[in-house]
Structure 1
């Protein structure tokens, strides 16, 4: 029973930390969207190059 209580409190603290992080990131959401878009583009390009054995 005690272990369950500890796990629940840890989960609640983790959720609070994630929410606060999301709130902080929200101010820079545009930057992160652009960064994620570029990163996704590069990764997909690399994957296609590997799959089709082409040099991009």
Structure 2
């Protein structure tokens, strides 16, 4: 039968691997995008905190 042809099997396996690879990369991209968003938000709030703390300390000095 042609369905058990090694070339066909290899071909379908390759396609499946490629599709899974692309899918996982896209998922990783999505996760990275999400993480980046969270990290930027965290850094921004941290930066704001540092700014307000330095302003507060400067206010205490005068």
TM-score using structure 1 length:
0.50
- Which structure has the larger Rg over C-alpha atoms? 2
Higher helix share: 2
Structure 2, gaps ≥5 residues long:
1-14, 48-62
Alignment RMSD, CA only? 1.7
Which residue among 34, 38, 41 is the counterpart of 1:24? Answer: 38
Unpaired runs of at least 5, structure 1: 33-56
Q: TM-score, normalised by structure 2?
A: 0.46
Of the two structures, which has the highest relative contact order with CA contacts closer than 8 Å and spacing of 6 or more?
1
